[in-house]
Amino acid sequence: MTGHDLLGTPETRLPAEPEVVAALASATTIDDIEAVVRAHPTSSLAWALLAEHSFHPASALQAYAYARVGYHRGLDALRKAGWRGQGPVPWSHEPNRGVLRSLYALRKAAAAIGEMDEVTRLDEFLRGADETAVARIESLGETRDEPSPSTEAFVIRGLD
């Protein structure tokens, strides 16, 4: 077995979001990413990046919620593009990366909160969409620059 779709289900290719990509490229803080999400609430890429940059293993619920929204926005976009609940969603088509990253972010946050049944379902979904997606997303983490926290996050407390 080759691992390719033997049923001939066509690939789903989402439309490009050049304005979202440009806005995210200039985002340097979590607040900037939140502003992109507010401006483009249907973008699974924006939600995925917000989830990725908000994730902390000790407090994963916020990232889980962001990733869950990105997942649902991604499902909406996939269905609108003709996806029928299965079939390839190739990483090689850049506009698909938002939904794939949302799936991955949701999987990571689900694991952090102990939702292992969901992790299994998301593993299957990611493999069915593109067998290379997980490795490609994980390789992004090795080189990605993290946005700085907003200045509101810095609190210096001294003794009186």
pLDDT digits (tens, 9 = 90+) for 45-86: 999 999 999 999 998 999 999 999 999 999 999 999 999 999
Domain region containing 46: 18-148
Residue 150 scores a pLDDT above 90: no
What's the CA gap between 25 and 73, in Å, rounded? 20
Number of domains in the chain: 1
Percent of the chain with pLDDT over 70: 84
Please name every residue paired with 155 in a beta bridge, in sequence order, or none if there are none: none
Higher pLDDT among residues 148 and 101, named by residue: 101
* 70 belongs to a structural domain: yes
* 89 belongs to a structural domain: yes
* 10 belongs to a structural domain: no
* 3 belongs to a structural domain: no
Residue 160 scores a pLDDT above 60: no
Residue 46: the pLDDT is 99
Query: What CATH number does residue 38 fall under?
Result: 1.25.40
The answer to whether 38 and 64 have CB atoms below 8 angstroms apart is no
* 140 belongs to a structural domain: yes
* 60 belongs to a structural domain: yes
* 142 belongs to a structural domain: yes
* 56 belongs to a structural domain: yes
pLDDT digits (tens, 9 = 90+) for 7-38: 678 999 999 999 999 999 999 999 999 999 99
The answer to whether 47 and 33 have CB atoms below 8 angstroms apart is no
